[in-house]
Amino acid sequence: MQVVNLPEPDFKKRIAIAVQWIANAKHFTVLTGAGISTEAGIPDYVSVREIGEKPAKLTTPSALVKNWQKASPGPAHFALVNLQNVSVLKFLVSQNIDNLHIKSGIRPEILSEIHGNLMLERCTKCGKTISKFDERPPRCECGGIFRPSVVKDDEDPSDLEWNRVQVHARLADVLCAVGTSLSVEPVNSILPMAKRQGAKIIIINQEPTQMDNLADLRFFERAGEVLNAIVAGLLSSRK
Ligand SMILES: [Zn+2]
């Protein structure tokens, strides 16, 4: 596996390059994975999923949901909220099912939880989502039924979400993957998809990823540290 750390080994210089790209981007899109939640102390369910093992814990979803309801977003989640609030972040794709992006304050309109969300059920027909904990009708207004939204290992993401994600991947002029080994299909294919359209690719992950060869800029540092340095750089460049 090729490990790149291009074009500049110095952390501050790489941050400056990222800030410049992101500040000039028209459609900055981010993909997140388990790494940003493990930094926040969440058990690494999605990583287990990423390496293709059976997620044993999912056999007791109620215990899992209970655990996750108590979980709090970490520094990387809040950095992304800051990027949203200054209108820099245009779209966020997350492989995580832990609800932490919503909890941290990401607006659902700019978020696609491509593998679902433990707290949400989804209409099998129209894709509408409702909270697991809300009072709800037996059927959706469209006639469909509500099912857990979490996508199992052998299932494809919902067409609706996957189409939405592809639209934003193609619009992206800077695409940043954070805390993911980029080993889960089809979501990992948005990197080559964006790259073909000319997007700059930034990868932030402490371990090597399957797509390091596509990176225009590579960070092996912690996601929270990198994203917060980018936020600080963007805010000071606006002064
Ligand atoms: Zn429906």
Evaluate if residue 49 carries a pLDDT over 70. Answer: no
User: In this structure, which residues have their CB less than 5 angstroms from ion ligand 1?
Assistant: 123, 125-126, 128, 140, 142, 144
Tally of CA atoms within 13 A in the half-sphere of 195 that contains its CB: 17
Active-site residue set: 115
What is the pLDDT at residue 77?
96
Q: What would the mean pLDDT of 86-110 be, rounded to a whole number?
A: 95
178 phi, psi to nearest 5 deg: -130, 125
What is the pLDDT at residue 73?
92
> What's the 162 CA to ligand 1 centre distance in angstroms?
17
Average pLDDT value for the chain = 87
At 8, is the pLDDT very low, low, confident or very high (cuts 50, 70, 90)? low
Evaluate if residue 205 carries a pLDDT over 50. Answer: yes
**Predicted structure pTM score:** 0.86
Distance CA 139, CA 223 (A): 40
> What's the 186 CA to ligand 1 centre distance in angstroms?
25
Distance CA 7, CA 14 (A): 8
